[in-house]
Structure 1
Amino acid sequence: MINIGSLLNINNYFDSIIITDNRGIIEYYSNMRSDIYDLRQDEIIGKSILEIHPYLTQETSSIMRVLKDGRPIYDQIEYLTTKHGQNITNIYSTLPIVKEGKVVGAIDLARCVNENERQSIILTRSNNEKERLYQLNDIITKSPVMNEIKSKIMRIANTDSSVMIYGETGTGKELIAQSIHSYSYRNSNKFISQNCAAIPSNLLEGILFGTVKGSYTGAENRRGLFEVANGGTLFLDEINSMDINMQSKILKAIEEKKVTRIGGTEPIDTDIRIITALNEQPLSCVEQNTLREDLYYRLNVVQIDIPPLRERSEDITYLTDYFISRYNSKMNKSIIGLSDEVKELFLNYSWPGNIRELRNVIEGAFNIIGSRYIQLRDLPHYLVSQFKNQLLNVELNNQEMSLVEKVESYEKRLLINALVSSETIAEAARKLKLSKQALSYKLSKYNLK
Structure 2
Amino acid sequence: MYQGFEKIPQNWHEQMIHLLAERIIVVDDNGIILYINEAYCQFLGTTIKDAVNRPVQDVIENTRMHIVAKTGQKELATLHPINGSEMIANRFPIIEDGKIVGAVGTVMFRSPEEWRMYRTKIQGLVEELKYYKTKLEKELKSKYQFNDLIGKSSTFLATKKLAERISGSNSSVLLIGDSGTGKELFAHAIHNSSMRASLPFVAINCASIPEHLLESELFGYDDGAFTGAKKGGKKGQFEIANNGSIFLDEIGDMPLSMQSKLLRVLQEKEIQRVGGQKSIAVDVRIIAATHRDLEKLVEEGKFRQDLYYRLNVIKIEIPPLRERKEDIPLISQSLLKKLEGKFYRKGIELSTVVEERLMEHSWPGNIRELENVLERSINILDGKTIEMVHLPLYLRDMEPETNFVKGASTQNLETTPKPLLPIFSLKETLAHAEKKAILNALEVTKGNKQEAAKLLGIGKTSFYEKCKLYSIK
Band of TM-score, shorter chain: 0.5 to 0.7
Equivalent residues in 2 for 1:135-174, closer than 5 Å: 135-174=145-184
Larger-Rg structure: 2
Task: Calculate percent identity across the aligned residue pairs.
Answer: 41
Q: Which residue of structure 2 lines up, in the alignment, with residue 321 of structure 1?
A: 333
Q: Which residue of structure 1 lines up, in the alignment, with residue 218 of structure 2?
A: 208
- Note closer, same or farther for the CA distance 1:219–1:141 as it changes in structure 2 (3 Å cut): same
- Note closer, same or farther for the CA distance 1:265–1:157 as it changes in structure 2 (3 Å cut): same
Whole-Å separation in 2 of the counterparts to 1:326 and 1:138: 11
Q: Which residue of structure 1 lines up, in the alignment, with residue 362 of structure 2?
A: 350
- One-letter identity of the residue aligned with 1:333: K
Q: 1:288 offset after TM fit, Å?
A: 3.4
Choose the corresponding residue for 1:244, options 221, 236, 256.
256
Whole-Å separation in 1 of the counterparts to 2:336 and 2:265: 45
Equivalent residues in 2 for 1:5-24, closer than 5 Å: none
- One-letter identity of the residue aligned with 1:162: S
- One-letter identity of the residue aligned with 1:373: T
Q: Which residue of structure 1 lines up, in the alignment, with residue 304 of structure 2?
A: 292
Q: Which runs of 5+ in 2 are unaligned?
A: 1-133, 426-473
Most deviating of 237-246 and 141-150:
141-150
Choose the corresponding residue for 2:345, options 320, 332, 339.
332
Return the TM-score normalized by structure 1. Answer: 0.59
- One-letter identity of the residue aligned with 1:218: G
Q: Which residue of structure 1 lines up, in the alignment, with residue 196 of structure 2?
A: 186
Whole-Å separation in 1 of the counterparts to 2:385 and 2:229: 56
Q: 1:405 offset after TM fit, Å?
A: 9.6
Whole-Å separation in 2 of the counterparts to 1:239 and 1:206: 17
Choose the corresponding residue for 2:271, options 259, 263, 267.
259
Return the TM-score normalized by structure 2. Answer: 0.56
SS in 1 for 2:207: helix
Whole-Å separation in 1 of the counterparts to 2:289 and 2:206: 10
Equivalent residues in 2 for 1:13-412, closer than 5 Å: 127=137, 131=141, 133-220=143-230, 221-328=233-340, 331-340=344-353, 342-385=354-397, 387=398, 400=406, 402=408, 404=410
8 Å CA contact 2:207–2:250 kept in 1: the answer is yes
8 Å CA contact 2:373–2:392 kept in 1: the answer is yes
Q: 1:128 offset after TM fit, Å?
A: 6.2
Q: How big is each residue's C-alpha offset from its partner over 1:103-153, in whole Å with a ceiling of 9 and x where there is no partner?
A: xxxxxxxxxxxxxxxxxxxxxx99469855210011011122222222212
- One-letter identity of the residue aligned with 2:275: G
Q: 1:176 offset after TM fit, Å?
A: 0.3
- Note closer, same or farther for the CA distance 1:401–1:247 as it changes in structure 2 (3 Å cut): farther
Q: 1:319 offset after TM fit, Å?
A: 1.3
SS in 2 for 1:236: strand
CA RMSD in angstroms comes to 2.9
- One-letter identity of the residue aligned with 1:172: G
- How many residues end up aligned between the 2 structures? 289
Whole-Å separation in 2 of the counterparts to 1:405 and 1:222: 77
Q: Which residue of structure 2 lines up, in the alignment, with residue 32 of structure 1?
A: none
Q: Which residue of structure 1 lines up, in the alignment, with residue 421 of structure 2?
A: 419
- Note closer, same or farther for the CA distance 1:292–1:405 as it changes in structure 2 (3 Å cut): farther
- One-letter identity of the residue aligned with 2:350: G
- Note closer, same or farther for the CA distance 1:421–1:262 as it changes in structure 2 (3 Å cut): same
Whole-Å separation in 1 of the counterparts to 2:218 and 2:279: 14
8 Å CA contact 1:127–1:189 kept in 2: the answer is no
SS in 1 for 2:274: coil
Q: How big is each residue's C-alpha offset from its partner over 1:194-238, in whole Å with a ceiling of 9 and x where there is no partner?
A: 000001111101111111121211123011111111000011011
- Note closer, same or farther for the CA distance 1:355–1:405 as it changes in structure 2 (3 Å cut): farther
SS in 2 for 1:202: helix
Q: 1:351 offset after TM fit, Å?
A: 0.6
8 Å CA contact 1:127–1:188 kept in 2: the answer is no
Q: Which runs of 5+ in 1 are unaligned?
A: 1-124, 424-449
